[in-house]
Amino acid sequence: MKLPIIILSIATASSTAFADDEAPSSNAPTDPVNSINASPLGVAFGNYALTYERLLGGQHGLVVEGIVTRSSGDDGDSTQFGGAAGYRWHWRGRQNSGFLGIMFAQGFGSGEVSVNGMSHDMTVRSTTITGNVGKRWLFGPINVTVRAGLGYGHYTAKAKEDTQEAKDAEKLMNDILAFLPIAIDGELSVGYTF
C-alpha cells in the first residue's frame, strides 16, 4: 500500500516540477529572424554595403550582401559593384549573439591606373572567400553588427586599350595584385530586425 502512494507522490511532484518546461504559448514574443543593415562607413571609406540576414532555427544565418566600393590613390582609382553570399552560426541561438561565418564575394568594375605619367583605363574584377567572427547587439528592433574576417582574394585588371603601354600597365597591375592574394572582410553596420 505504501509503494503505490510513494509512486503517486513522485509522479505528482515531478509533473509539477517540470510544468514550466512546456512549450511557450502562441502569445509569447519570438526573437526576430530577419535583419537588414546598412554600413555608415561608406561615407568615410567609400565602401557601401547593404546586408540582409535570415536566421533559421535560431542559429543558422543565411546572408546576402550588395556592395559598392570606391577607392583612389596617387596612382589610380577604381569603382566596383558586387555581391556576397554567406553563412553565420550564431552561438547563442538568436540575433543578439556572437557569430562565426564565411562569405563568398564577387565584384566587377572599372578603374584607372597611372604609369610613367600616362593614365590607362582598366576593368577590374575580384573574387574573395573569407572566414569571419562578429557580434550583433539588439536594442529593441534596432541592431548594431560588427564583423572582421580574413581569407583568400583573387584580383585581376584588364586594360581597355590595345596599346603596348596599356598592356604593360595591365601586367604591372596584375603582378602587384597577385603578390598578396589576401582578402580582408569587415562590417560595422546599423540595421533593423523584424
Angle CA 109–191–101, to nearest 5:
65
28 pLDDT more than 80: no
* Stretch among 19-28, 82-91, 108-117 having the lowest mean pLDDT: 19-28
How many structural domains compose the chain?
1
| Residue 118 pLDDT | 86
Between CA 51 and CA 66 the distance in angstroms is 7
Cell match 546598412: residue?
38
Residue 186 lies in a domain: yes
What per-residue string of b and e applies to 40-75 under the rule 16 or more CB within 10 Å gives b?
Answer: eebeeeebbbbbebebeeeeebebebebbbeeeeee
Residue 93 lies in a domain: yes
Residue 16 lies in a domain: no
- Contact assessment for residue 85 and residue 66, using Cβ atoms and an 8 Å cutoff: no
> When comparing pLDDT for 16 and 190, which is higher?
190
Quick one: cell of 166?
Answer: 596599356
| Residue 183 pLDDT | 95
98 pLDDT more than 50: yes
Residue 8 lies in a domain: no
| Residue 59 pLDDT | 95
138: CATH: 2.40.160
> When comparing pLDDT for 64 and 4, which is higher?
64
Of 193, 58, 89, the closest CA to residue 138 belongs to 193
- Contact assessment for residue 98 and residue 91, using Cβ atoms and an 8 Å cutoff: yes
Quick one: cell of 114?
Answer: 597611372
Which residues are registered as beta bridge partners of 49?
67
- Whether the pTM exceeds 0.75: the reply is yes
**Overall average pLDDT of the 119-135 stretch:** 96
83 pLDDT more than 60: yes
**Overall average pLDDT of the 63-81 stretch:** 88
Residue 171 lies in a domain: yes
Of 72, 154, 81, the closest CA to residue 112 belongs to 72
Residue 164 lies in a domain: yes
Residue ranges making up the domain that contains 189: 32-193
Residue 14 lies in a domain: no
Between CA 31 and CA 64 the distance in angstroms is 20
Residue 20 lies in a domain: no
**Overall average pLDDT of the 93-113 stretch:** 95
| Residue 4 pLDDT | 45
